[in-house]
Chain A
Amino acid sequence: MGEKNLEIVQDQTATEPNGQISHLALDIGGSLIKSVYFCRSDSSGSGDDQDHECSANGGCAKKRPAIEGSLHFAKLETSKIDQCLETIKSMKLQFNGFVHQNNTIEDNTIKDTSFIKATGGGAHKFADLFKEKLGITLEKEDEMDCLVAGANFLLKAVRQEAFTYIDGVKEFVQIDHNDLYPYLLVNIGSGVSMIKVDGDGLFERVSGTSIGGGTFWGLGNLLTKCKSFDELLELSHRGNHRVIDMLVGDIYGGMDYSKVGLPSRAIASSFGKAISEDKELDDYKPEDIARSLLRMISNNIGQISYLNALRFGLKRIFFGGFFIRGQSYTMDTISVAVNFWSKGEAKAMFLRHEGFLGAMGAFVSYDKQRLDDLLAKESLQLQVRTSPPVDTDYQSPLNGESIENETINCIIHTA
């Protein structure tokens, strides 16, 4: 899918008038590479329409020149890093504004001074590769910083970013900017990080678990013949976990264990039925296995998140990371887990751009350092002009991907 998606994006950018890609930021994770890039539109530099926008930082922007354009989101499997490099090369990124100050425009050909903001473990791992193949330096941003910055930005800048998902019903939550903090940010990548966020740049990784997206995909890869994460997800949608999971009812003869408040449908032991002697792996449907896996992992993450939120008295838990992908069943399971363990006190919330928090954060970090250097006292401010929640049929299992095709129109003030 990765390649295809990127192509779509490329197509889109190609259709954009004057589509000039700049400000690329990458989040190179263990499984996926996520990218956010800014595409200049025609009117960039006009600076006419910025005063009716609300700044992401809450302040009111002065009238000044702005670059107008749109933010694009794309992702690719990390194992296909070579394709990624090719794509970036073909994108012919205009690194205007991203060259060290002491270089002139003419020196732009001197590639070793070009850089891209990047985060994620791969930013370290593949630094040499980028240098060698593209002559681009990866400017490493701390992963956690990026995650938080990305989430903070999105939660404040995009009106309908957060939503709850209960029993198949998606409901956007209006976030009061003055009452955003503290919240728990659960980023489900290959592993899971749980971060308590107290403000801009104010956060602490309070917990985590090694049972995350990588586990789902890894175990799924071993147990089924699925070739991709998404295929596995799709399978899970059609499965029945009761074939494999041991339910409370299985133990108590179909009855609830009411004494301790466990309904008969509750999973007592994930994969607990797979211990049956006369059955082997081939006797189970991949769909059922995928479903059981998904439930196990989502439920576990939901539970640990809730316990951590409880510990710090956090009312809001936002779940993000590529594991979720707007996958309704995943979100549902996590919501149920949070709801169950908190006895309805806490609600799981999700972010529309969940997979791109890190990349977004890396992108935002351009603001703070390099642009200041180049543009003197000018600061980059992304202003969201329109952010239409175009995806109306979110319930369909996989259309979380539509996010990747979505753009956020915005303006970068340059004066």
Chain B
Amino acid sequence: MTGFKEDPVLGTNDMIVNKEGSGTETGSSSRPPVVDKAREEGQSGRDMAGNSIHRSGSRPQLDLSKAAIQGNFEERDPTILLPNQSDDISHLALDIGGSLIKLVYFSRREDRSNNDKRTKTLQEKLGISNGSRRSFPVLGGRLHFVKFETAKINECLEFISSKQLHCGGVDVCNGLLGAAANNNAVIKATGGGAYKFADLFKERLGVSLDKEDEMDCLVAGANFLLKAIRHEAFTHMEGQKEFVQMDDNDLFPYLLVNIGSGVSMIKVDGDGKFERISGTNVGGGTYWGLGKLLTKCKSFDELLELSQRGDNRTIDMLVGDIYGGTDYNKIGLSASTIASSFGKAISDQKELEDYSPEDISLSLLRMISYNIGQIAYLNALRFGIKRIFFGGFFIRGHAYTMDTISFAVHFWSKGEMQAMFLRHEGFLGALGAFMSYEKHGLDDLMVHQLVERFPMGAPYTGGKIHGPPLGDLNEKISWMEKFVLKGTEITAPVPMAPSGTTGLGGFEVPSSKGATLRSDASALNIGVLHLEPTLEVFPLLADLKTYEPNTIDLSDHNELEYWFTVLSDHMPDLVDKAVASEGGTDDAKRRGDAFARAFSAHLARLMEEPAAYGKLGLANLLELREECLREFHFVDVYRSIKQRENEASLAVLPDLLMELDSMSEETRLLTLIEGVLAANIFDWGSRACVELYHKGTIIEIYRMSRNKMQRPWRVDDFDLFKERMLGSGDKKPPPHKRALLFVDNSGADIVLGMLPLARELLRRGTEVVLVANSLPALNDVTAMEVPEIVAEAAKHCDILRRAAEAGGLLVDAMITNSDGSKENSSPVPLIVVANGCGSPCIDLRQVSSELAAAAMEADLIILEGMGRSLHTNFNARFRCDALKLAMVKNQRLAEKLIQGNIYDCVCRYEPAN
């Protein structure tokens, strides 16, 4: 992550100066030509070895994607488990409970003051005058969720101390490290321990704990989560989790049931508006207390685990026991309904020792969960509340507990109400305490500005800290190696049968899962919340509420298994490439191994519990892999491949352009679309295609592929698109004003496919915005790389050159050979914009602000490639014309999506309304 700063050629400030230069038409003559840059780049790429990041800072023309560069840093920053010592500034809030200490802390990322200037420049280019479109009240950064056992409070204190979390103080606007001198630092805290351990914190860390009311914190935490995190809430019936998207405008009132030692039921009417309306003294403390007396369990978790293997029929009196095995139909009680909890334990002949602790634990669990569900339902009914959220330590993601509560609510409400649970349920209080800082700025945070990422330890620890905080990558890798080898303290997850069998609903007898299942197996993992204030909703989505990026729903177990197999099979090759991309050194190999372990662990965890990381779509899975690579400092695995292919494709581009120019307008348009589809065959994400590459050169494959483009394609709206472009008869439709082209792969895909299409649009007077990834993913072209490609192509093509100049892409080139550029009054610009993500897919709910700005005046969207037009957004609807182009390079997907075969093509055109 230090690569940028250490860059000997260009520092951050140089970038800004350069950008300002590019904003003004004159520019600065001190910039070396792009071509040189590229050459320099090529060299450094070859002998780069360990200095992988060097490249990213050395290109002045890449200013548009600076956000991506920062993001890049960001991703390589440590995670929940292994936070970097160099976190700029943090603040911290605690919830010190009887058994667990929960920490929520915020680490801010680098100062981004230069960002505004850059945005302004871009806005000028995009012709957006409204400078005050969005000011960012929220600081970018990350929100971490961590927990410790209260008994091990020393580890917690060490963690805080080593990360200097206590030095952050309250005021995020103040200086960073200087704050350490602050002896009057105050940390917000809640929970009973906030009183108990106040002195200890003062003594050891020199900080005072500022106690916040528990209930205030709970509600504040829940409100924040429900509003800011998509799919925070889920239902849990019959072992199946289903994530529920809350409507911000229809959230209140809700009932928050917090199950701690006792149970509080809180009616929440709004921010800071709530009332404790009820509760019950039969809660988690009762379960643990009675359980402890009745079994020899030493911990709550042990007791919970016991219940997994229990059979409550030996202890509970069921309706069937009373009615001789028959249902009491008249009042709708089935024979398996519990008539009396512990009702069978009245037998004279049996004593405590005669009952198995497992059965006792389950019977207790059911009794208490069911009771809480019932009382919660009755209270919700009383106040006309439809939504009940259950939280608190009693639940702990435990499947039976959630099922029993859900069953109770469902049963008593006759299906009218649903029990819901929160993914971050354990952190409500800590988060609320965090929210009580006056200047956190999180209130304004919107759901689209948060990205949750799961660092390498996530599948194992679920937020629990194991071992001392790790400072650098080396320690991370060591940790990874150690625990996989040792496998003692932290048990690696065992892939299990589909989650459908995790728990049975209601009072039915649970199936025994054997001893292999950890008690927290169905608990959900919590990632790091990345606060990206610059992310916005793509403004051209027709209906944000119904938009679902993922086309493939991985809640279908077969689908899940298939994609997991694909990813697993692809892994060795990916690791080889990754190691090679970092020079093949021992260090790179070690990192490669650690990556393989970490990503395998993610996959195993998700196989075991597909909902572990929240709602899981294929896009999430693919992004997870990229994030995992970045975590182990594999910056750009396909870099050399991409370069090679770009060069090869650029070499044949002039011939292609000539060929195209010789065609009639109509033929050309078809050839261009064919070209896009044909070139889309170059995809390192597709196994089938990779095998193809061994059979010929790029251009050979491209031509072969194009020749095979027999219309009609499997999905073929070309005629419709053609009519919009060229009209029919004498009617010539006006050209689009601005087209957004979401590009996919490097090499032939962009050079021979998308670039010629962009050129055609430019020729017709349409502004073109090439939308590329902010961060590398597979061989996808990034926003950093596109300008270079454009510059190279522009050498052979006036249309591209003028447009690129107008779009500010060719600062340097303009100086050398565009003296007469003014003669061409106002050429339409070609602009490159980073999309804000680093995944082969794109979630249009969270795109960069520059893309959002660019979209404002766009009236045509072209989505290209499987990731962005099939895996995601295949069903997305837009407010403007949309063209989705892709070659399907996966047999299964072809069958599923278009009832076709591998290498079939999709040309889907959807006019605005």
Chain A residues within 8 Å of B, Cβ to Cβ: 29-31, 79, 120-122, 124-125, 142, 144, 189-191, 205, 207, 209-215, 217-219, 221-223, 227, 229, 244-246, 251, 253, 259-261, 266-275, 277, 280-281, 284, 289, 296, 299-300, 303-304, 307-308, 310-311, 341
Contact = CB atoms under 8 A, between A and B. Distances in A.
Nearest to A261: B276
Nearest to B287: A271
A218 B341 contact: yes
B195 A271 contact: no
B339 interface: yes
A269 B261 contact: yes
Given A296-B281, A300-B282, A259 B374 contact: no
A229 to B, nearest CB: 8
Contacts of A289: 293
A307 B382 contact: yes
Most chain B CB within 10 A, of A121, A245, A281, is at A121
Contact of A121 (B289, B322, B374): B322
Nearest to B275: A260
21 contacts: A30-B322, A30-B340, A125-B324, A210-B341, A211-B282, A214-B344, A215-B367, A217-B343, A218-B342, A221-B347, A222-B352, A267-B262, A268-B285, A269-B289, A274-B288, A275-B288, A275-B289, A280-B293, A300-B281, A311-B378, A311-B381
Contact of B345 (A221, A299, A304, A308): A221
B116 interface: no
Nearest to B320: A121
A121 B288 CA distance: 33
Most chain B CB within 10 A, of A190, A210, A253, A274, is at A210
B715 interface: no
Interface residues of B, number: 62
Given A229-B346, A271-B286, 20 more contacts: A30-B322, A120-B322, A122-B322, A191-B343, A207-B374, A210-B338, A213-B340, A215-B367, A217-B342, A218-B346, A221-B346, A223-B352, A245-B281, A266-B281, A267-B262, A267-B281, A270-B289, A271-B290, A280-B293, A303-B278
A260 B219 CA distance: 14
Contact of A274 (B282, B289, B347, B381): B289
Contacts of A296: 281-282, 286
B794 to A, nearest CB: 69
A246 B261 CA distance: 8
Most chain B CB within 10 A, of A120, A209, A245, A266, is at A209
B184 to A, nearest CB: 25
Nearest to B378: A307
A296 B262 CA distance: 12
Contacts of B374: 207, 209, 304
Contact of B371 (A211, A245, A274): A211
Interface string B376-402: 001101100000000000000000000
A189 B328 CA distance: 16
Contact of B346 (A31, A245, A277): A31
Interface in B303-353: 315-317, 319, 321-324, 326, 330-331, 337-348, 351-352
A281 B297 CA distance: 12
B507 to A, nearest CB: 8
Most chain B CB within 10 A, of A122, A267, A274, is at A274
Contacts of A207: 374, 378, 412
Interface string B347-372: 11001100100001000000100110
Contact of B281 (A253, A269, A277): A269
B375 A268 contact: no
Interface string B31-49: 0000000000000000000
Given A205-B331, A274-B290, A307-B378, A214 B262 contact: no
Given A259-B213, A269-B289, A190 B195 contact: no
B419 to A, nearest CB: 17
B375 A303 contact: yes
Contacts of A244: 289
Nearest to B412: A207
Question: Top 4 A-B pairs ranked by shortest CB distance?
Answer: A121-B322, A214-B343, A272-B285, A214-B340
Given A273-B289, A310-B382, A311-B382, A218 B282 contact: no
B215 interface: yes
B137 interface: no
A272 B321 contact: no
B284 interface: yes
Contact of B342 (A121, A219, A271, A277): A219
Nearest to B213: A259
A221 B371 CA distance: 21
Contacts of B283: 269-270, 272
Contact of A308 (B261, B284, B339, B378): B378
B99 to A, nearest CB: 9
Contact of B323 (A125, A217, A267, A271): A125
Contacts of A341: 278
Contacts of A275: 285, 288-289, 292, 300
Contacts of B315: 218
Given A144-B331, A303-B375, A269 B286 contact: yes
Interface in B195-233: 195, 213, 215
B343 A274 contact: no
B280 interface: yes
A147 B462 CA distance: 52
Given A30-B317, A210-B338, A304-B375, A270 B346 contact: no
